[in-house]
Structure 1
């Protein structure tokens, strides 16, 4: 067992939470669940494991996770941030346990987790989706979460990170309606993040390589393209240039919804916000 505390955020995750907990049980000294007042069986399932659970009103992922860190009063060397629709495999869990043990006194202060992404029951291998990388494991006194409304990352204050060789799973058992509802909420957070950060400099924040590239592309290239057109270009890039069509019908649906529904919805909400500001000043 690693000297590791796992923090899991939940809201109506009765279909996912047991799998998430079971995947980290073998390597976690402690598991803490932070729930946003679920109305399904999430709390009942968590308590059946005898695991600590706290409830807190939802603002965004960053603030909810930070609440978890504060209330848990963590005393392990390592911390793992896990979403309820994510889970470790036996191989990735074993690798994490080994790396945590081997790097107790090294400059390795973070571990990047690799995920396969499942959509409508299919593992997506193309379209630039796989592998999905996130820095989720870090030494307790060497990292913190960004205070952002969207795309928040764990930031290391010093040292460096390494990437797992074995994949973990991003597998949400909820249906497409839940996916659409979740991404509608994401789009509103994206708009807030856009206006807060479009002209802001990173000021030397130590993002891992994958996160740094994605954020640069998003704010320095994608958002510089014409509103409305960029969603179309995003689809072409994902579906054709990154071979998303090789994932079959599920790949087609995923690419279409990501571009022409989600990314275009973000653009529409940005346009709406600008329109409201313009009308306000015209009065």
Structure 2
């Protein structure tokens, strides 16, 4: 077999819970080029598991305790054939340029003692790439040397790596509305509750992280600043729609920015509600 047709020695892991509408497309984007594709399923009660197997993926089921817990299970405990893992969400696809880049550079990544590769996403909505209102580019840790990476924070996870990290130039293709706007709103209603809980727990300030060379740590520092801003939802909308040029994305850009603002507003309202409830509980003591 020629080197061109050999599969990359990487295990692609797709987390699922009732993803029958989108999982096949995610699998297909990886199946021909990566040595192993595993769907790590949280006991879906739809047809996700059957569709995944029919599409050619292996399926392992693990009870869901949180996104970080699932990813750490994949990194540390899940049976797999490779020491390198690429995390792919069910509503994403690996682009051909990203696969070509990994084919070209993977040997160098291993020999360079890297432990993780960050990847950007292209978010699609209403049939187009939302380049501006999505806040592009945002970097996500996805290519992981299993023994060198750990994942923290159960919602909007944060990656920690014991080795140097790198940025990949290829993209993931992200379709957050592939299951409809109603599903997006239901999911972000859950996410906003988790974010409010994280905020009320309090996080030690790490503003110095904004100067880190690690994209993940820099993003954490910026987020800590952003989450403390007054009128955060309004500021977020003005930033995305005007400062970042979201108005150039047309109707799709406006709607995307408004949906992002709605999500931030939910976090703020739920946080205030939790603070009030905690204060009332303390006053009753």
The two structures have a TM-score, normalised by structure 1, of: 0.89
Counterpart of 1:167 (choices 164, 171, 174) is 171
Paired with 1:203 and 1:218, the residues of 2 have a C-alpha distance of: 12
Q: Which residue of 1 aligns with 2:269?
A: 268
Is the partner of 2:25 in helix, strand or coil? helix
> Match for 1:88 among 60, 83, 94?
94
Instruction: Give the SS at the match of 1:72.
Output: coil
Moved more, 271-280 or 39-48: 39-48
Partner secondary structure for residue 44 of structure 2: coil
Q: Residue 219 of structure 2 corresponds to which residue in structure 1? A: 214
Number of matched residues?
276
Q: Name stretches of at least 5 consecutive residues in structure 2 with no aligned partner.
A: 1-6
The change in CA–CA distance for 1:249 and 1:263 in structure 2 (over 3 A counts) is same
Structure 2 CA distance, aligned partners of 1:15 and 1:99?
33
1:239 aligned residue: 241
Following the alignment from structure 2 to structure 1, what is the Cα–Cα distance between the partners of residues 81 and 202? 34
Please give the residue correspondences for 1:22-101 in structure 2 after superposition, counting only pairs within 5 Å: 22-101=28-107
State the match for 1:176 in structure 2.
181
The residue that corresponds to 1:139 in the other structure is 145
Q: Deviations over 1:184-212 (max 9, x none)?
A: 111011112213343355998xx863333
Please give the secondary structure, in 1, of the residue aligned with 2:251: helix
Q: Per-residue deviation at 1:232?
A: 1.0
Q: Secondary structure at the match of 2:115?
A: strand
In structure 1, what is the Cα distance between the partners aligned to 2:108 and 2:133?
35
Go from structure 1 to structure 2 and tell me whether the alpha carbon gap of 1:218 and 1:102 turns closer, same or farther (over 3 Å shift): closer
Change (3 A) 1:129 1:9: same
Aligned partner of 2:122 in structure 1 is 116
- Distance in structure 2 (CA, Å) of the matches to 1:257 and 1:178: 13
**Deviation of 1:69 (Å):** 3.2
Cα 1:219/1:104, change in 2 over 3 Å: closer
Structure 1's consecutive aligned runs of 4 or more residues displaced over 6 angstroms after TM superposition are: none
Which residue of structure 1 aligns with residue 163 of structure 2? 158
Q: Is the CA contact 2:114–2:163 (under 8 Å) kept in the aligned structure 1?
A: no
CA contact (8 A) 1:6 1:81 kept: yes
1:108 aligned counterpart, secondary structure: coil
Cα deviation, residue 156, structure 1: 1.2
What is the alpha-carbon distance in structure 2 between the residues aligned to residue 31 and residue 79 of structure 1? Answer: 10
Superposition deviation, residue 95 in structure 1: 1.0
Q: Is the 8 A contact 1:128 1:242 kept in 2?
A: no
- Secondary structure of residue in 1 paired with 2:129: strand
The two structures have a TM-score, normalised by structure 2, of: 0.89
Q: 2:250 aligns with which of 248, 251, 258?
A: 248
Deviation at 1:152, TM superposition (A): 1.0
Do the aligned residues in 2 keep the contact of 1:34 with 1:56 (CA within 8 Å)? Answer: yes
Aligned CA distance change for structure 1 residues 160 and 50 (closer, same or farther; 3 Å): closer
